[in-house]
Chain A
């Protein structure tokens, strides 16, 4: 049978296999391995002829198909006590195909749904970065955005070459107190303003660690008004609990 397939439209080997099974009207629970393997390899061959880069996944599936085919040829060893093997070597493949098909179906439903900014629209605002007192309006800052913001800082920090090496004792505990002190002066701080103006990289790191510790101790909130917007710090505890009683540097384990 001639195969008329537009190769580029396949998302992967499972997609391609599903297509072959459907167009050949094969029974998914009784896939004729010889035929499907032949057709699958023919498609791969055509990819080669067209000089398409064949993704490793397609080759891996080819190997899997050939492996299953060969196992079907072997006599079934039905000695009791042997390790329990799946009765049909095709079972796992069938399970994967059916599962994959389900998600393909959901993907279609998502594609057809009323997508924001394509089918339905909402009003957009250009609000100031921070929305005043309403804490809930800001999205909670995830670790991904936090690290992205920190990376930006690190990138900007100069990589100065020091000729004289002076070991400056930087303590996370001290920096925690420092950040808390700053927050005592102003209730909200921009992420960027927490860090010193021309900092050494080590100081950036220690300040960042102090920040993370404060979040962990639930002493401060990190919020931002919009994704990739400015990150703001505010105290999460009432005024009378702002003092962290005697932090031991060792207790953080940064050594």
Chain B
């Protein structure tokens, strides 16, 4: 089939799909290799970008999905009676920690935040933004949490690598050290585990 036809097929699939469609899934659906499909999808993204529609083809959660443009959010919001969900600073802080530190236990998050986080984490779990990954092999076998695919969809992230790189703050003013970036992996080792022990003995 011609590329133009393939483009229209993919377009119709994105239009009709409920969740982001990955290249893997597209490959099964249209019976073409991922290598064949990738340039067509890229072209589609550009097409919708340049055509100036009220929506665009977004790359989220390992797939592709039509989304309305942010500029038109005030209008689209009127469609629904529900007010959009607002994240509390506590929820966002906790999400950030789980996203970068996963798999992470509740007590590790609490040590990082300095406050009890049980309620926040339960809410995030119920909203499906974080999920249980397993149990940590330490005394008490605490649950380990990580972020879900829904988390990526919710914040429009392609994958976890799409998260902003953690800034290495060597000074407190965030404006001062803009160039100073650090890998998430470099972050503070060990101390949450110390905390684990101390809570164990309490």
Contacts and interface: CB of A to CB of B under 8 A. Distances in A.
Interface of A: 11-15, 18, 21-22, 28, 55, 57, 61, 92, 95-96, 98-111, 113-125, 127, 136-137, 142-144, 227
Interface in B76-99: 76-77, 79-80, 84-87, 89-90, 92-93, 95-97, 99
B112 A99 contact: yes
B172 A116 contact: no
Given A95-B188, A118-B85, A105 B167 contact: yes
B113 interface: yes
Interface in B58-113: 58, 65-70, 73, 76-77, 79-80, 84-87, 89-90, 92-93, 95-97, 99-100, 111-113
B191 interface: yes
Contacts of A61: 114
A128 to B, nearest CB: 12
A140 to B, nearest CB: 10
A103 B70 contact: no
A124 to B, nearest CB: 8
A108 B87 CA distance: 11
Nearest to A22: B172
A28 to B, nearest CB: 5
Given A96-B191, A137-B19, A143-B132, 11 more contacts: A92-B191, A103-B97, A106-B164, A108-B92, A113-B156, A117-B80, A117-B84, A118-B85, A118-B86, A124-B18, A127-B18
B76 A121 contact: yes
A5 to B, nearest CB: 16
Interface string B109-135: 001111110000000010010011000
B155 A107 contact: no
Nearest to A125: B18
29 contacts: A14-B113, A14-B114, A57-B114, A92-B191, A100-B113, A102-B168, A102-B187, A104-B93, A104-B96, A113-B157, A115-B87, A115-B154, A115-B156, A116-B67, A118-B84, A119-B70, A120-B58, A121-B67, A121-B79, A122-B65, A122-B67, A123-B15, A125-B18, A136-B25, A142-B131, A142-B132, A143-B132, A144-B131, A227-B150
Contacts of A22: 172-173
A118 B76 CA distance: 9
Given A106-B166, A113-B155, A114-B156, A101 B87 contact: no
Contacts of B116: 55, 57
B78 to A, nearest CB: 11
Interface of B: 15, 18-19, 25, 58, 65-70, 73, 76-77, 79-80, 84-87, 89-90, 92-93, 95-97, 99-100, 111-116, 125, 128, 131-132, 150, 153-157, 163-164, 166-169, 171-174, 187-188, 191
Contacts of B19: 137
Contact of A57 (B115, B171, B172, B191): B115
B180 to A, nearest CB: 11
A57 B195 CA distance: 14
Contacts of B114: 12-15, 57, 61, 96, 100
**Most A CB within 10 A of own CB, among B115, B156, B163:** B115
Given A11-B89, A110-B92, A116 B154 contact: yes
A115 B114 CA distance: 27
A117 B85 contact: yes
Contacts of A137: 19
Contacts of B169: 98, 101-102, 105
B84 A13 contact: no
Contacts of A144: 125, 131-132
A239 B158 CA distance: 38
A103 B96 contact: yes
Contact of B100 (A106, A113, A114, A142): A106
A57 B199 CA distance: 14
